[in-house]
Structure 1
Amino acid sequence: MQSGLTDVFAAERVRAIAAAHQAERGALLPILHDIQAEFGYVDPAVEPVLADALNLSTAEVHGVISFYRDFRRECAGRVTVRVCRAEACQAVGANALVEHAEASLGVEMGDTTRDGAVTLDEVFCLGNCALGPAVQVGDRLHGRVSPARFDALLGEAR
């Protein structure tokens, strides 16, 4: 689905995912998670397909997608790096770490490097408050991440 929902197969697959959840109460969120798991992101072309399948307005579907930060509008990089911006991590240097991460990668929060290797995201708690600043690289959580350690973790991930 890298090219969007331009082909009939992708639209039919989205309808099938929606149909699998249609009997559930509040089905939109699980459907969106399944779509993102299958395609890597939630293409804007999904909105009218889901609105039709779930008898919702396109605005309702768009509102849910845009409200939750977990739903991506484009494919993420091969590795996603999430930096905690919660108060406990801010108190021990998360803001400086964010500035370093953006400068080091040449992207802003929410963006992916030009080579598609790394997506940099922020999160507002990784549950590792005693070991801040906390960073998640892929599925691995790291604590007490300094700018030098950030660079080392990124080197390993790339």
Structure 2
Amino acid sequence: MSNQIEEHSVRVAAICDQMSGLEGPLLPILHEVQEEFGHIPDGAIQTISKKLNLSRAEVHGVASFYHDFREEKAGKHVIKICRAEACQAMGADQLGEQVRRHLKVDWSQTTSDRKVTLEPVFCLGLCACAPAAMVDGKLVGRVSTDRMNRILDEVRS
């Protein structure tokens, strides 16, 4: 085990110890681990499974089911574009294509300069303001191509 994986495992174990008394601690632990490291690092699933007496498959299943958990660190900025039906009807598919071409990445990928991660999301709750996006945790409604170009210019600078 490399030193970094070992260091991560020690910190993940401490997070588990701190939160294991919660009812249903798995999701809060995964969120805390992601908050700490920016992703779910190698070895974390094994450490969590041992601490919670769950199988690695159970922990991996939960971590891989939710789109917010990632195996690699995100870029400095995270852009999420809604892909749900209301946003699709208002041009989200075209918007997503524009952003993917502009950034030269696919969904759930990070630009080579590590500045921007593009993620799909299936409903931000802004259906009346479609198409919707989230930029670094801030909701943005009625995202036109011009508005997205301004956002992209801002996060790439």
Q: TM-score, normalised by structure 2?
A: 0.93
Deviations 1:68-118, CA, capped at 9 Å, x for gaps: 111011000000000011111111101111111111110011000000000
Q: CA deviation at 1:59?
A: 0.8
Q: 1:53 aligns with which of 48, 51, 54?
A: 51
Q: CA deviation at 1:148?
A: 2.1
Amino acid in structure 1 at the alignment position of 2:147: R
Give the aligned partner of residue 114 of structure 1. Answer: 112
Q: Which runs of 4+ in 1 moved over 6 A?
A: none
- Distance in 1, matches of 2:129 and 2:86, equals 9
Q: CA deviation at 1:43?
A: 1.5
Q: In the TM superposition, what are the counterparts of 1:1-158 in structure 2 within 5 Å?
A: 6-158=4-156
Identity of aligned residues (%): 47
Amino acid in structure 1 at the alignment position of 2:28: P
Amino acid in structure 2 at the alignment position of 1:157: V
- Distance in 1, matches of 2:5 and 2:68, equals 25
Q: TM-score, normalised by structure 1?
A: 0.93
Structure 2, unpaired ranges of 5+ = none
User: Would the aligned equivalents of 1:77 and 1:119 in 2 still touch at CA under 8 Å?
Assistant: yes
Cα root mean square deviation, aligned: 1.4
Matched residues, number: 155
Structure 1, unpaired ranges of 5+ = none
- Distance in 2, matches of 1:97 and 1:9, equals 41
